[in-house]
Amino acid sequence: MSTWVWVLIVVVIVVVIAAIAFALTRSRRLEQRREEAATLRDRSQVRAQRAEQRETLAEEQRQQAEHERTAAQEAAARADEVDPDVNRETRR
């Protein structure tokens, strides 16, 4: 065989090895990105659940505060009714 044939065979072998190496590297990178995406999705789901819990708690606290405010206003109104020093005509 002539020298140019050997050179051509070596070049083809090198190209095939490079293509295989590139494909393996790409496959690993894609798998790493899939794993990273799964991790990010898990974190996102945990954060969304935590936010939902906080929203529920905030709504409960808002309702409690509203109830307390109503009770305070009723107590203040009752105190005004009981207090002989409060002028009932100017209060209304």
What's the pLDDT at 1? Answer: 73
In this predicted structure, the answer to whether residue 63 has a pLDDT above a threshold of 70 is yes
pTM: 0.55
The C-alpha atoms of residue 24 and residue 18 are separated, in whole angstroms, by 10
* Interval 6-54: pLDDT, tens: 999 999 999 999 999 999 899 899 999 999 999 999 999 999 999 999 9
Taking the domains of the chain in order of start, what are their residue ranges?
3-81
What's the pLDDT at 86? Answer: 76
> Could you tell me which residue, 26 or 85, shows the higher pLDDT?
26
Q: Which residues of 27-37 are buried (b: 16+ CB within 10 A; e: fewer)?
A: eeeeeeeeeee
